[in-house]
């Protein structure tokens, strides 16, 4: 508990900022969902034949896994807040539509008939009778959607939209329980707070005559309502301030601006911060850093669409995964082919290779290596039927990952499990798996004191870090090329592993690690973020 409280104190500014961001994204999503859902709920009450199709589509959307929904959205909407908001809107619709329809349909038909009898039009009956009487039921649906939206909005971090999910995802990938809790606990508190506030709204919109109370208590209820209105008023003002702060913070933008992205693991976040810091210190370009965007395909899609201008890829990944070539070990051919084809097909420039090769490897615990005499992949192939392997989902499906590796070495494992990020290391430590894939510069290798095996048949292609830049961006800012070449010359395999270790084990922030390295190497002067 002491460690958690200490983490909260040290990172209170970041947690507060991410919480405000989470509130803003959730409020926008739920607000739009209300504007769409209530009219749809009313519509299916009046046009009965639309009821099943509308509710059916909303139910199907609700059943789609959130990550799959994001995967569908990214090619069309890119990354950032827009796809996250749209996904949460879609997930929020069903309770609102269903409760709106249920609320209106549950009204006594005689009451509606009486309203028509006194001369009210159809629209007046709807606005003056049906909706007011149905509001308590409608609000119950809004409450469900709002609370659910708070949890769902954590996925926003996966595509660079921010929010408390950033702390959760980062904590999972670095096995940092304090960081996970720092994201999860505020999200839970926020959900409870929203439920409480919407509960007040639900009470306020329920006519006193419909509340199950003693008639003598009506005066007390009226006093209570004044207090409830005051509480809601205060929170409305706070919500306006949240949006105001966001608008003010994003109002000023430099004419010379680029966005640097990163994948969703430690090394990538260090590199993106390092590149951003270095460029901003050496030029008059304003750099925005979008961390934690997901895997290679997500970052590459963001680069192609212009959502980001630059990110650091790996030569083997670009060659085999992005360009769909069969893996080869020829360093020059991999780089030159990647450079030429990315330029000709996508107008993306491949800058000079950095001085470290973050190749894939397979890792085991020391006692496993000793028990089965494991030093090479060929050794692993001989006893694979007795061992369980856990790999990242990306490695599990890539041709330069487990599928190709299995063909090359004839691997036959007792069990294969997809485990994204750092959970595979935890599974290894807990004896739930025996072998994991890893990056050669991964700080978690040092943290968990693992043995890496030799790729003795040289299956893996080279994975030198290569900055990828949009052609238009490089044309506008040609100074990026020599700058990043200079930066890359300072990064070695051992250096990168040590930097990763500082984040994964010592729980330092990626920006702080990147900045300290640049200062230590004399590339920039020390400067606060």
d(CA 22, CA 164): 6
Range(s) of the domain holding residue 376? 360-452
Could you tell me which residue, 259 or 165, shows the higher pLDDT? 259
> Looking at the domain assignment, is residue 320 inside a domain?
yes
Q: Hey, which residues does 435 pair with through a beta bridge?
A: 389
Q: Hey, which residues does 360 pair with through a beta bridge?
A: 439
Q: Kindly state whether residues 176 and 262 are assigned to the same domain.
A: no
Q: Kindly state whether residues 242 and 272 are assigned to the same domain.
A: no
DSSP symbols for 77-101 = H-SSHHHHHHHHHHHHHHHHHHHHH
* Number of other residues whose CB lies within 10 A of the CB of residue 257: 11
Task: Give the count of alpha carbons within 13 A of 433, CB side only.
Answer: 22
Q: Kindly state whether residues 170 and 193 are assigned to the same domain.
A: yes
CATH number of the domain enclosing 392:
3.40.190.120
Using the 3D structure, point to which of 432, 452, 472 is the last residue of a domain: 452
CATH number of the domain enclosing 192:
1.10.3720.10
> Looking at the domain assignment, is residue 111 inside a domain?
yes
What's the pLDDT tens digit per position in 262-321? 987 889 999 999 999 999 999 989 998 888 787 788 888 889 888 899 999 999 999 988
Using the 3D structure, point to which of 204, 221, 250 is the last residue of a domain: 250
> Looking at the domain assignment, is residue 528 inside a domain?
no
Structural domains of the chain, count: 3
State the pLDDT at residue 294.
Answer: 73
Q: Kindly state whether residues 289 and 324 are assigned to the same domain.
A: yes
* Tokens linked to 187: 């999200």
Q: Kindly state whether residues 89 and 136 are assigned to the same domain.
A: yes
Q: Kindly state whether residues 138 and 153 are assigned to the same domain.
A: yes
What's the pLDDT tens digit per position in 222-252? 667 667 777 777 777 877 776 666 555 554 5
What's the burial of 237, exposed, middle or buried (CB within 10 Å: 0-12/13-18/19+)?
Answer: exposed
Q: Kindly state whether residues 467 and 330 are assigned to the same domain.
A: yes
Q: Kindly state whether residues 238 and 277 are assigned to the same domain.
A: no
Q: Kindly state whether residues 276 and 310 are assigned to the same domain.
A: yes
State the pLDDT at residue 251.
Answer: 47
Residue 359, pLDDT > 70, answer yes
> Looking at the domain assignment, is residue 457 inside a domain?
no
- β-pairing, 451-452 vs 360-364, is antiparallel
Distance of CA 205 to the CA centre of its chain: 36
**Integer-rounded Cα radius of gyration of the chain:** 28
State the pLDDT at residue 1.
Answer: 66
> Looking at the domain assignment, is residue 406 inside a domain?
yes
Do the beta carbons of residue 101 and residue 141 sit within 8 Å? no
What's the pLDDT tens digit per position in 421-432? 678 888 888 899
What's the burial of 385, exposed, middle or buried (CB within 10 Å: 0-12/13-18/19+)?
Answer: exposed
Average pLDDT over residues 333-346: 94
What's the pLDDT tens digit per position in 198-208? 888 877 776 65
d(CA 182, CA 205): 35
Alpha-carbon distances, residue 354 vs 103, 270, 300, 351 (angstroms):
62, 14, 19, 9
State the pLDDT at residue 529.
Answer: 45
> Looking at the domain assignment, is residue 29 inside a domain?
yes
Using the 3D structure, point to which of 452, 479, 501 is the last residue of a domain: 452
d(CA 118, CA 364): 81
Q: Kindly state whether residues 68 and 189 are assigned to the same domain.
A: yes
Q: Kindly state whether residues 60 and 149 are assigned to the same domain.
A: yes
> Looking at the domain assignment, is residue 527 inside a domain?
no
State the pLDDT at residue 244.
Answer: 64
Q: Hey, which residues does 466 pair with through a beta bridge?
A: 313
Q: Kindly state whether residues 150 and 162 are assigned to the same domain.
A: yes
203 CB-near residues (< 8 Å, 6+ apart): 211, 225, 228
Do the beta carbons of residue 281 and residue 524 sit within 8 Å? yes
> Looking at the domain assignment, is residue 36 inside a domain?
yes
Q: Hey, which residues does 469 pair with through a beta bridge?
A: 310, 349
Q: How far apart are the first and last CA of the chain?
A: 29
């Amino acid at each position: 508990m002491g460690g958690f409280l200490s983490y909260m104190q040290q990172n209170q500014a970041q947690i507060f900022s991410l919480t405000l961001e989470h509130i803003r994204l959730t409020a926008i999503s739920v607000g739009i969902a209300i504007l769409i859902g209530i009219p749809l709920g009313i519509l299916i009450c009046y046009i009965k034949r639309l009821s099943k199709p509308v509710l059916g589509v909303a139910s199907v959307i609700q059943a789609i896994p959130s990550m799959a929904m994001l995967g569908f959205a990214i090619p069309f909407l890119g990354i950032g807040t827009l796809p996250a908001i749209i996904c949460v809107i879609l997930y929020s619709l069903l309770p609102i539509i269903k409760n709106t329809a249920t609320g209106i349909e549950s009204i006594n038909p005689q009451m509606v008939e009486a309203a028509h009898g006194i001369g009210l039009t159809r629209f007046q009956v709807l606005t003056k009778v049906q909706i007011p009487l149905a509001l308590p039921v409608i609000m119950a649906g809004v409450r469900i959607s709002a609370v659910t939206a708070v949890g769902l909005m954590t996925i926003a971090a996966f595509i660079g939209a921010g929010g408390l999910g950033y702390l959760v995802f980062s904590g999972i990938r670095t096995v940092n329980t304090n960081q996970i809790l720092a994201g999860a606990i505020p999200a839970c508190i926020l959900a409870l707070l929203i439920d409480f506030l919407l509960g007040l709204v639900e009470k306020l919109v329920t006519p006193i005559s419909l509340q199950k109370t003693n008639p003598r208590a009506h005066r007390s209820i009226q006093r209570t309502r004044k207090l409830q209105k005051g509480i809601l008023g205060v929170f409305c003002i706070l919500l306006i301030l949240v949006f105001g702060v966001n608008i003010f913070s994003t109002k000023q933008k430099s004419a010379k601006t680029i966005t640097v992205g990163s994948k969703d693991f430690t090394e990538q976040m260090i590199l993106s911060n390092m590149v951003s810091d270095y460029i901003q210190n050496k030029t008059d370009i304003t750099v925005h850093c979008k961390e934690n965007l997901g895997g290679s395909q997500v970052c590459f899609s963001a680069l192609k669409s212009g959502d980001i201008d630059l990110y650091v890829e790996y030569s083997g990944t670009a060659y085999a995964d992005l360009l769909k070539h069969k893996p080869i070990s020829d360093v020059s051919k991999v780089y030159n082919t990647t450079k030429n084809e990315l330029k000709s097909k996508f107008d993306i420039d491949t800058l000079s290779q950095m001085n470290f090769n973050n190749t894939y490897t397979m890792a085991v615990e020391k006692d496993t290596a000793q028990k089965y005499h494991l030093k090479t992949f060929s050794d692993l192939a001989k006893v694979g039927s007795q061992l369980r392997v856990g790999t990242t989902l990306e490695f599990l499906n890539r041709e330069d990952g487990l599928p190709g590796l299995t063909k090359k070495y004839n691997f036959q494992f007792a069990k294969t499990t997809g485990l994204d990020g750092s959970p595979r290391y935890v599974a290894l430590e807990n004896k739930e798996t025996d072998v994991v894939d890893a990056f050669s510069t991964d700080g978690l290798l040092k943290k968990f004191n693992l043995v890496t095996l030799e790729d003795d048949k040289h299956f893996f292609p080279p994975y030198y870090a290569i900055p990828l830049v949009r052609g238009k961006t490089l044309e506008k800012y040609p100074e990026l090329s020599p700058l990043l070449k200079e930066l890359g010359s300072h990064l070695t395999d051992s250096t990168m592993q040590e930097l990763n270790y500082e984040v994964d084990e010592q729980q330092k922030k990626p920006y702080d690690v990147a900045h300290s390295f640049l200062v230590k190497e004399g590339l920039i002067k020390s400067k606060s973020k």
